[in-house]
């Protein structure tokens, strides 16, 4: 996307803008695709301005907020993609119906993940990462369909620190790791409607003993959100009969990315150490030489 929907308006008003707004406007003019895809904070960092400057830019051109600008650019990008795909798959061509169905599913997932970059969600993610990174011990909990999210969070973070524990239901002993847990410890809990009873009860038990709870959940009034110190709210809707865990998985990965620089660990060195140790254990398949 070479031009954005507000290119002419921004160019027309550019000379009358204060210097900080000009820096923000220059980024929008030069990187229209990034405006559609990146969060406001990421754009502000790349533009070398504060996120409040990006919001002022939107108001300067008559929008209510920066999300309105992102929405315009996201729509323009989707429209452009549709035009390109129509050129690739003319109406009535083999596979056209299947492509449209796949595109619809992917668009829904992309929009759900992109919402995590909205200002309110970004603030919650940042605050949650600060709390998780400062934990004495860090527990990861998700049962039934949310288990893959908790496992992935644990698996990636455990390469950087030995303070993280996965609470699963294997052998009925998953909760045993909580012995002695209390003030200074933090639990990441993943739970969405219909909520697994064990997930709620374990989180309640932890909270009663002083463990701070960070929740990835589906509502600000969910049972987990009501007892959590920080809540990252994700959507469940999908284009099929099941609820999607893709937004929850994206939130967990965002937390790991934010936690990693705050740990007393060097991520690249830790990754290499893990690869060497797992190679010694012959964990992964390798072609015979």
Phi-psi region of 13 (alpha: psi -120 to 50; beta: other; left: phi over 0): alpha
End-to-end, the C-alpha distance of the chain in Å comes to: 46
Quickly state the pLDDT bin for 267 (edges 50, 70, 90).
low
Quickly state the pLDDT bin for 220 (edges 50, 70, 90).
confident
Q: What is the DSSP letter of 217?
A: E
- Say whether 71 sits in a helix, a strand or coil: helix
Mean pLDDT lowest among 16-25, 61-70, 231-240, 250-259: 231-240
In contact, 30 and 4? CB cutoff 8 Å: no
* H/E run at residue 37: helix 32-37
In contact, 217 and 193? CB cutoff 8 Å: no
The percent helix, strand, coil of the chain (3-state, each to 5) is 60, 10, 30
pLDDT mean over 157-166: 88
Cα–Cα distance measured from residue 54 to residue 61, given in angstroms and rounded to the nearest whole number:
11
The full DSSP string for 247-282 is HHHHHHHHHHHHHGGGSSS-HHHHHHHHHHHHHHTT
- Nearest 10 degrees: CA dihedral of 265, 268, 269, 272? 130
pLDDT for the residue 11: 87
pLDDT for the residue 266: 57
Average predicted confidence (pLDDT) for the chain? 83
In contact, 27 and 47? CB cutoff 8 Å: yes
The pLDDT tens digits of the residues spanning 87-142 come to 555 555 555 555 567 777 777 788 888 888 887 788 889 999 999 999 999 999 99
**What's this model's pTM, rounded to 2 decimal places?**
0.63
Judged against a pLDDT cut of 90, whether residue 261 lies above it is answered with no
Q: In sequence order, which residues have a C-beta less than 8 Å from that of residue 263 and are 6 or more positions away?
A: 133, 160, 161
pLDDT mean over 164-178: 71
């Amino acid at each position: 996307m070479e031009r954005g929907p507000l290119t002419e308006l921004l160019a027309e008003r550019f000379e009358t803008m204060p210097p900080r707004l000009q820096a923000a406007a220059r980024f929008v003019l030069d990187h229209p695709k990034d405006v559609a895809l990146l969060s406001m904070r990421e754009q502000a960092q790349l533009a070398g301005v504060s996120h409040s400057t990006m919001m002022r830019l939107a108001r300067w051109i008559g929008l209510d907020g920066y999300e309105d600008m992102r929405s315009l650019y996201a729509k323009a990008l989707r429209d452009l993609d549709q035009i390109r795909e129509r050129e690739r798959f003319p109406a009535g061509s083999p596979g056209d119906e299947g492509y449209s169905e796949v595109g619809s599913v992917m668009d829904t997932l992309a929009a759900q993940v992109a919402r995590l970059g909205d200002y309110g969600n970004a603030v919650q993610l940042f605050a949650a990462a600060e709390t998780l990174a400062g934990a004495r011990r860090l527990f990861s909990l998700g049962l039934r369909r949310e288990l893959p999210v908790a496992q992935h969070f644990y698996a990636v973070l455990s390469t950087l620190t030995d303070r993280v524990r996965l609470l699963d239901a294997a052998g009925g002993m998953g909760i045993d790791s909580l012995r002695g847990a209390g003030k200074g410890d933090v639990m990441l809990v993943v739970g969405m409607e219909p909520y697994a009873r064990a997930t709620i009860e374990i989180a309640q038990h932890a909270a009663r003993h002083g463990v701070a709870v960070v929740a990835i959940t589906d509502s600000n009034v969910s049972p987990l959100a009501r007892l959590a110190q920080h809540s990252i709210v994700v959507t469940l809707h999908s284009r099929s009969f099941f609820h999607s865990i893709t937004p929850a998985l994206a939130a967990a990965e965002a937390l790991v990315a934010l936690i990693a620089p705050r740990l007393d660990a060097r991520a690249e060195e830790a990754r290499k150490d893990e690869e060497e140790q797992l190679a010694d254990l012959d964990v992964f398949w390798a072609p015979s030489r």
